[in-house]
Amino acid sequence: MSVTAKRISYAELSAWPYDGKRYELVDGEVYVSPSPITIHQRVVRNLAVSLGSFVKHHGLGEVFFAPYDVVLSEFNAFQPDLIFVSKAREQVITEKHISGPPDLVVEVLSESTMAHDRHDKLPRYAKYGVTECWYVDPSPRTLELFQRSGDRYLLTTVLAIGDTLSSPLLPGWSIPVEAIFE
């Protein structure tokens, strides 16, 4: 849901007093997201523990989770549910936020944010250089994996219970889909 009538910059948004809400910026328009529900939190936790442990153990980079700003441009800043930044891109990690495209963003879909995630965020993640994007949908318990091709994404894989998630960004890492939803 958009909460501003005029276009603002990330600098203006970051000057707002903290009120505990999750704000995102899409072409200068501010959107607020509701608090995540229980299954959303479980999915983020399970992926963060698995992915974070693997990344740390192998010295591949860092894993972060919301709320944490990913600033892609002056007028586009998001809070993906999970973020992976490789060693090769570690210069985008600043003291306050990620300033530039991470390697991977993960969005856990919900009824209230699905349209925003798919129509507003996905094309901008591709445009600004995020290599890979995963959409996790708790309702049918599926995952969609998008890989960047030029300035857009191609849907490369759809996974369901019984499948195993892996990524070319993380050779040797995998997790059964059912473990993501436990």
Please tell me whether residue 2 adopts helix, strand or coil conformation. strand
- The pLDDT of residue 112 is 83
- Whether the predicted pLDDT of 2 surpasses 90: no
- Of 63, 87, 85, 80, nearest in space to 117 by CA: 80
Tokens linked to 95: 């003291």
Residue 132's nearest CA partner among 94, 89, 176, 68 is: 89
Measure the N-to-C terminal CA separation of the chain; round to a whole number of Å. Answer: 30
Closest CA to 134 of 113, 111, 118, 151: 118
Residue 6 has pLDDT above 90, yes or no: no
Q: Rounded CA gap, 77 and 105, in Å?
A: 13
Give the chain's domains with CATH numbers.
36-180 (3.90.1570.10)
- What are 72-126's pLDDT values in tens digits? 999 999 999 999 999 999 999 999 999 999 999 999 999 888 888 899 999 999 9
Handedness of CA 170, 146, 181, 21 (dihedral sign): positive
122-161 pLDDT tens trace: 999 999 999 999 999 999 999 999 999 998 999 999 999 9
